[in-house]
Amino acid sequence: MGALLDQKYAKLFFLLDANGDGVIAEDDFALMAGRVTAAFGEERTAKGRTYAAEMTNYWRALRETADADGDGRIGKDEFRLAVSRVSDKFDTLIGPLYLAGFRLADRDDDGLVGRDGFVTVLVAIGVPAAEAEATFDRLTEDGEPLTEDRLMTAAAHYYRDEDPAHTASHLLFGAL
């Protein structure tokens, strides 16, 4: 694993440890899903339920890969290895969560996400608002909205790629 991927996985661990107790467990994923869906008032809608289900799937994939002693808790070192392996199956294990997040933020279902929707998701998962704004600017041009393809490409780069040409993707969740 290269240094950049290591930094990005460390950032993911920090964000996914939603209750800040230093380990990742199912309660973190429930907490984060609750925060994101509540930010849009979608806790009980189809979109919100899809997002929560994808959070659970992501957690299960990590747990099956990482939790060798079966105590339901994943520490930082376990997480780095697990997320690296789960990222090999980005399209089936991780991509659907990002797609569900995009669709939550796409308030009018036109396949585009504006600044407010994007920033709302990132703030709900723990990224400071100013960094979320900067991420939106890096991923888009001249006030254009974010497309689904652009987000999915950035997310795939975040989990799998260290190409210096993809800085905007590496900074998806703010400074490393």
Question: How far is Cα 16 from Cα 25, in angstroms, rounded to an integer?
Answer: 9
The DSSP code sequence of 101-138 is HHHHH-TT-SSEE-HHHHHHHHHHTT--HHHHHHHHHH
Cβ 165 to Ca ion shortest distance, Å: 28
**Per CB under 5 A, 151 contacts Ca ion:** no
Q: Does 77 bind Ca ion (CB under 5 A)?
A: no
Minimum distance of Ca ion from residue 116's CB (angstroms): 10
By CB under 5 A, residue 78 contacts Ca ion: no
> What's the rounded Cα separation, in Å, for the pair 170 and 176?
8
The rounded distance, in Å, linking the Cα atoms of 45 and 128 is: 27
Q: Which helix (H) or strand (E) holds 112?
A: strand 112-113
Evaluate whether 175 touches 9 at the Cβ level (below 8 Å). no
Map residues 24-63 to x or -, x wherever contact with Ca ion holds by CB under 5 A. Answer: ----x-----------------------------------
Q: Which of 5, 9, 13, 17: binder of Ca ion (CB under 5 A)?
A: 17
CB of 74 to Ca ion, least distance (A): 9
The whole-angstrom separation of Cα 134 and Cα 93 is 27
Taking CB under 5 A as the binding criterion, the range among 87-95, 98-106, 130-138, 164-172 that sits at the site for Ca ion is 98-106
Shortest Å, Cβ 7 to Ca ion: 20
Q: Which residue has the tokens 């974010």?
A: 146
Determine if 106 is a binding residue for Ca ion (CB under 5 A). Answer: yes
19 binds Ca ion per the rule CB under 5 A: yes
Nearer to Ca ion (CB atom), residue 106 or residue 161: 106
Residue with tokens 């890096």, as numbered in its chain: 138
Residues that bind Ca ion (CB under 5 A): 17, 19, 21, 28, 106, 108, 110, 112
